[in-house]
Amino acid sequence: RRPAAARSRWPGPSAPEGRLGSDRPCMDRHRDAYAAPIRFGECCRLAPVLCVATTIIALYAEYVLLHGWRLLQHDLPPETRMHDMVTRGRRQLAAFDVVTALLLYCFACCVLVHPGTIPSGAEWELADTDDRADRADSTGSLGATLLETKTTGERRHCKWCLKYKPDRCHHCRVCNMCVLRMDHHCPWVYNCIGFRNHKYFLLLLLYSVIDLAIITCTMWETVWWSTRVDVELATMTALVVGEAFAAFGLVSLSVFLGLHMWLLAKAMTTVEFCEKSLENASYNSSVYNKGLYGNVCSVLGPYALLWLLPVALPRGDGMTFRAPLALADAGDDAAAEEPGSPASRACMMLSSRRPSSNSPGGGSQDEPQGEPQGE
């Protein structure tokens, strides 16, 4: 692996001292070897971000300067302008400017907002074998609320961060940290998509699709006009290339947005979707499914009127998730043991997500090797 100084990650919290006995010096060295240095220190990983930003600026400039300028007819005297065309141009530019502003805000939030990670604290710091029994009483209530555990019933932990992992938390090998409710790592925003920036990511996709749809549908008349009148070759080429690029991006991002909307409706993250693919499990059920409305609220926030705006983030800490109805009923042992009952199906779904104890490295200490690294 590359030395820590050569990698660019989110700054990680310093490790508490003096709780792991004789194993502490070794674990401290292990933690320091994978410490998270300052972000944006690896310039090559900024290339995709700059590529996205350049594309947004280029399409915006082309739409405003070539298409909008023609509709507004600023090169003609006011008395000779076609007022219907001017009105249409103003409406199109106003809608395009608003959506682009929201898109840029969500893009900045996806890059800059921390996705959330495991906090520092005695209840999350990994203890050695002798110390685990002494701390079992203080963390017993926390462990009882976990839905994902090892096959032995113990809490999952990350062997890289040396911390216990809450439900739906996974270690990103690119950002070198554990991410709360990790969806995936996105190289286009140089960040992980997790609990605290998942809404920004979905809205970024939505605003991108709307912007590209506006360009594709409204700029076509200017492209057609450029092929019928005497315009410069460079102008016509820019219009044709921009229209083709916008149409291609519209189709691609619409498919990608549709996938993430489907995952949202099913209460699954991309990591959980890939786990189900590897295990040939059903995609129609999730232990975190709270119904369509509850699933949307868990990502887009509790206020339906603000779902499509980058405000009112979802409630919670990203570490504890309320059990759905089926798991709530699973408190009755008889109901949980009854074949075909909702509680039994929930327990079976949960068991299918636990890694096998026969897997390399203890099975549940590290994340699956098939964990997604980007779109």
* pLDDT band, residue 2 (cuts 50/70/90): very low
The model carries a pTM of 0.77
Task: Tell me which residue has tokens 């039994």.
Answer: 344
* pLDDT band, residue 146 (cuts 50/70/90): confident
| Residue 271 scores a pLDDT above 70 | yes
Q: Which residues pair with 125 in a beta bridge?
A: 163
Q: How many CB atoms lie within 10 A of CB 131?
A: 15
Give a yes or no: residue 57 inside a domain: yes
Q: 158 catalytic, yes or no?
A: no
Express each pLDDT in 251-268 by its tens digit: 999 999 999 999 999 999
Give a yes or no: residue 367 inside a domain: no
What gap in Å lies between CA 261 and CA 270, rounded to an integer?
Answer: 11
Give a yes or no: residue 373 inside a domain: no
Give a yes or no: residue 122 inside a domain: yes
Express each pLDDT in 119-128 by its tens digit: 988 888 887 6
Mean pLDDT of 180-208: 96
Q: Tell me, what amino acid is at 356?
A: S
| Residue 8 scores a pLDDT above 80 | no
* 8 Å CB contact between 357 and 151: yes
User: Of 109, 161, 175, 186, which one is the catalytic site residue?
Assistant: 186
Instruction: Give the list of residues 6+ apart from residue 196 with CB closer than 8 angstroms, or none.
Output: 113, 114, 115, 116, 180, 313, 318
* Higher local confidence (pLDDT), 366 or 278: 278
User: For residue 128, what are the domain limits?
Assistant: 4-362
Give a yes or no: residue 19 inside a domain: yes
Give a yes or no: residue 368 inside a domain: no
Residue by residue, DSSP assigns 4-36 as GGG---PPPPPPPSS-SGGGHHHHHHHHHHT--
* pLDDT band, residue 280 (cuts 50/70/90): low
Give a yes or no: residue 371 inside a domain: no
What gap in Å lies between CA 197 and CA 61, rounded to an integer?
Answer: 28
Instruction: For the chain, give the mean pLDDT.
Output: 79
Phi/psi for 286 (5° steps) reads: -150, 140
What gap in Å lies between CA 303 and CA 299, rounded to an integer?
Answer: 11
Domain count, the chain: 1
Q: DSSP class of residue 193?
A: E
| Residue 164 scores a pLDDT above 70 | yes
* pLDDT band, residue 131 (cuts 50/70/90): low
Q: DSSP class of residue 199?
A: H
Q: What is the pLDDT of residue 143?
A: 54
* 8 Å CB contact between 203 and 106: yes
Give a yes or no: residue 37 inside a domain: yes
